[in-house]
Amino acid sequence: MPEWSSYFHHTPTTVENVMSYLPTWIVVAVGLLLLSWVLVRVLRHVRQFSRTAASTGAYFGYETGTLRARRAALRVAMRETRARVKRAPADVPSNSRGRQEEDRG
């Protein structure tokens, strides 16, 4: 295992060594700033999309529930009508008049 204290002790710290890393640190700092700016904007749009999706989902849920209620009401009404028709036969006026062909003469 290398001796780190001797490594740092033998490496000279000069302006040239420090300045050679300066452009890299500047690029890293600018990149991090740019990344954070992009993330803030993306998160803003994601939040807006999630609000819109939730609102749309609630609206469609309401409309779907209304349609289900209407469909159930129609089923009940049709069932009641069928039951009423089975119990009492319909009074058809043409039955008492006879056939229409006989009236043409």
Per residue in 38-97, pLDDT (tens digit) is 999 999 999 999 999 999 989 888 888 888 899 999 999 999 888 877 777 666 666 566
Residue 46 lies in a domain: yes
Backbone angles phi, psi at 104, to 5 degrees: -75, -25
User: How far apart (Å, rounded) are the C-alpha atoms in residues 104 and 101?
Assistant: 6
Residue 104 lies in a domain: no
Nearest residue to 72 via CA among 64, 82, 83, 62: 64
Looking at the whole model, is its pTM more than 0.75? no
Residue 103 lies in a domain: no
**Domain span holding position 71:** 4-86
Residue 57 lies in a domain: yes
Residue 60 lies in a domain: yes
Residue 39 lies in a domain: yes
Residue 92 lies in a domain: no
Asked whether 94 and 100 are in contact (CB, 8 A), the reply is yes
User: How far apart (Å, rounded) are the C-alpha atoms in residues 76 and 81?
Assistant: 9
> How many distinct structural domains can be found in the chain?
1
The two tokens of residue 58 are 């609630």
